[in-house]
Every structure is written in C-alpha cells, then in structure tokens.
Structure 1
C-alpha cells in the first residue's frame, strides 16, 4: 500500500452521490481515442478496477462484449448501475471488491483499466495479478487528467472556482493533515507507476493525450458536490459539524460570485497503456 496508509473502507463514504455532479468529465472522445490503438471491436471483456460511478466504464462498454466494474464502495456501484441504465448499457456487471481481492474468479480480459485508482492499491501485487488476468497481448490502461497541462491565456467568462480557499476551509475544520478515511493522504508512487508496471512484466508502453479545454459553467451546488466527492473532504469526516461546514462553504462561494456562476476549462485526458507479452 502507499507508504504510511492502510486501506480504510470509509475512504469515500458518502461521496458517491456527489461524484457525477462534482467531478469534471474526461475529455470528449477519450473512449474512441482508446479504442483505435487497442483495436477494440466489440469483442472481449473489460475490467474497470475502482470503477466508482462508472464514468469510464459506461462510455467504453460498446467496445466490448462484457464490461465488469469492481469497486469496494457499494454506493459507488449503485451510482454506476444507475448511470449504465440511463445510458442504455446492458452488458455491464458490478462486483463489490477491492483490487487486492482479484482475480476473484472474474476470468480473462482484453483490457483492464484504472482511472485514477491504481495509486490506492497495493501496486506491485495488483499489477502482477492483473497481468495474469489479461489475455496475451491484452492491455493495462491508466486514465487520468493531464497534470501540468499548458495554461490557456484566454480570459474566462466568469471567475474560476476558488479551490485554494475551499482547501483552506477544509483544513480549518479538519486540521492541517490531508485526510484519507481515518488515515492521512499520501501522494505518489516511489519510482513512479511506470516502474511498478514494468516490474510486473508489461511492455510496449504508449501514451495519448486527448485534448479538451472547453469552458464549462460551475455553480455553487457543483462545487459543494466537488468538495464532498473527494476522499480528503468526504462528508463523514466532518461528523456533527457537516452542516456547519456546508453552510460556511456555501457562504464562501456566494461571496465570490453573487450570481452563483464560476467557469473553468476541462482538462485534457492522459491515457497510458502497456501490453502483456503475447508469448
């Protein structure tokens, strides 16, 4: 596990209902961008580990015969199933499990995807297990927002969300140490995730960046949802001060923009893939 942190089932407790509204989407077309290089043709199976509310699995479902979403938070799986139903996806199944519970009798897959979830796992162990679950030539896929993307100098039509000030308010209520369930949040993988995945026997590294940059409007409700969708500010962490925190958060945001409208640009999406050797 990440140094200094142990798995905690309260990690995202209470966050599932806020996730879809609060989080910015991945770049439009990310699923098509992944399908082309991987030669996805509607066959085979996809495993989404740490699938959350199905944000990645649902758009990818049409490229596979079956898609399986795994997540330890049953509320996330409930939201994922609702999302799939709204989108007309009928080839999905959902499994309540941690990555460390794999292979869990789930069978063989053409691709296994981690969308900003791999860092929460026992990475060496999980990468080795995933390699065994992939068919020869199958893909290990990591999807995330593009970090440190070039800034766009074009002015936004409304103020940007005051994420720094939201963070200050969270620290005022929860203390200076960033929380993760009942523990503290630890960032990064020693040596980088690429080293872990190579160590597990994957090869053929490839990287794609799917551009975005569209300007979206974010309301006070959206930013409250964003706050509660994060592990470091999940609703349960505030205990009996939750209503007080939300009151102060809304007051902060309403002082920033009396009309209740912020604006920000959608980040590009980074897709990294590795292959299981064919022999």
Structure 2
C-alpha cells in the first residue's frame, strides 16, 4: 500500500502548485522539438504536468498510487491542448519501462527523489532519455524543515501526537545522507546546473491542516480516532502565532538539472 494512502483528496486541493518560474526553467532546459516528450516520475495528482501543460505534447506520468493517478486523469485529461498525448501508468520508477523507442526529452522528479532508489533509477534513465535530454530534480522545503515560528509550533504538535521522529506512513522517515546533487554527479547525468526560485505563500489554519493531511508524516490514518483532536491542537497552536489567521511562508524551489557530459549548452 502506498505511504500516501488516504491523502489524495487533500493532496490535490492543498499541495502548493509548481510555480510558473519553475516551469519556465524546466521548459528552457531542453530544445524545442516535435514531439517534445516529458516523463514525470511520481506524478501524484499531476501538479508538474499541469505546470508544464502546453509545453510538451507527449507526456508519460508514473506513480505507484492508483488513487492519485485517477485524480490526475480527471484533472489533466480535459485540459490537454489539441494533439497532446497523455499516458498515466501505475508503476514505480524502478520498474518503469517506456514504450519501445520512446525517450524523454525531460524527466521531472518533483518532491519525490528521496523516496527512490536513486542510483538505480538514474542509471535506468540513461536508456530512457534522449541524447540531449535532461533529468530535473526539484523540490521546495517541507513544513517539517520548519524555520517560521508557526511551522515550528505545528511540528511540535505533530511530534506530541506521533513521536519525535518524522513518520513516513506506517514507518519512519530515514533521511538520506548523500545530497541529491551528489546522486546526479555519480550518475550518467553528471553535468549539473542548480537554480533557486524564491516562493512566497500565505496560508490559513484550514489550508495548513489540509496540507498536513496530504503528507506522509501527518496523513489522517496515522491519528486514528484522535484526528479531530489533532486538528484542534494545530488550530490552537496556530492561534498563538497569529490573531488574523494569516501565516506567511518564505520558501524556495531548488532545481537541479542533470545532463550527460557530451551535451554542450
């Protein structure tokens, strides 16, 4: 069972979108072509595909969670530009095999690289990516990496209910010691460029709780019959940080673009 089981409704409505500035960097990373092929790993409910809509016309999104893919299909299919092709596949990145002869111009791995067998996936992609193709690993910072006072207060509530260690569904989250950029440098896509896109967001208590329930560390099933108690505790903690139900977040997307050494820009 997916570690995101039971989060899909919250995920689609409360996970922040991929900013247009991030989409612009991804778009500019690969040459214009027709067809222009995108492989989105860990597509979830389709946030990356949505951000790149109209920029790629042959798209494959993969995810091991069937519920997520059902929501992605409903959200994305009606909004595809004329002539664009979308295929969604229930599979892991480790087990994915593209159609015969199909190679991606861009591979996107957003907010999911830490869940993958990184070396295996990157090595497999060498056969799945076009000669001048790019692998893009990118993410913003989780609430768990708190630095605003209200984020710290929320994390404290989660730890009061679930323990000090960050959860990952029924298990615990194990932070990888090797930075993402090192995984790229040790892969066939070892020519790496980094970009940072600042992000400013404003939250309310409702949207914060919705976001929390979209995560593997605060998904609803973890709380059992204490879910309402948890939600109320989060609201109480947030009320101590703002009397206007307004919570400002300064975040950023770190984007790492990996190319093969033979590619010259």
TM range (shorter): 0.7 to 0.9
- TM-score (normalizing by structure 1): 0.81
Alignment of 1:15 with 2:16, yes or no, is no
CA distance in 1, matches of 2:36, 2:182: 27
Are residues 211 and 248 of structure 1, via their aligned partners in 2, closer, same or farther at CA, if it must alter by over 3 Å? closer
CA distance in 1, matches of 2:32, 2:9: 31
Are residues 94 and 44 of structure 1, via their aligned partners in 2, closer, same or farther at CA, if it must alter by over 3 Å? same
**Local SS of the residue matching 1:75:** helix
- Residue 118 of structure 1 corresponds to 113
CA distance in 1, matches of 2:227, 2:189: 45
Are residues 166 and 233 of structure 1, via their aligned partners in 2, closer, same or farther at CA, if it must alter by over 3 Å? same
TM alignment of 1:251-266, pairs within 5 A: 251-265=236-250
Alignment of 1:235 with 2:220, yes or no, is yes
- Residue 128 of structure 1 corresponds to 123
- Residue 95 of structure 2 corresponds to 101
- Residue 78 of structure 1 corresponds to 70
- Residue 57 of structure 1 corresponds to 49
CA distance in 2, matches of 1:242, 1:224: 11
Structure 1, residues 139-169: CA drift from partner, whole Å, max 9, x if none? 111112279xxxxxxxxxxxx6711111111
Alignment of 1:39 with 2:31, yes or no, is yes
Aligned length in residues: 255
- TM-score (normalizing by structure 2): 0.84
**Local SS of the residue matching 2:175:** coil
Q: Which has the higher contact order (CA 8 A, sep 6+)?
A: 1
Of 45-54 and 181-190, the range deviating more from structure 2: 181-190
Are residues 98 and 83 of structure 1, via their aligned partners in 2, closer, same or farther at CA, if it must alter by over 3 Å? same
Question: Residue 40 of structure 1 contacts residue 64 of structure 1 at CA under 8 Å; is this kept in 2?
Answer: no
**Local SS of the residue matching 2:25:** helix
- Residue 91 of structure 1 corresponds to 85
- Deviation of the 1:204 alpha carbon: 2.5
- Residue 217 of structure 1 corresponds to 202
- Residue 165 of structure 2 corresponds to 177
Question: Residue 41 of structure 1 contacts residue 63 of structure 1 at CA under 8 Å; is this kept in 2?
Answer: no
CA distance in 1, matches of 2:24, 2:152: 34
Are residues 31 and 42 of structure 1, via their aligned partners in 2, closer, same or farther at CA, if it must alter by over 3 Å? farther
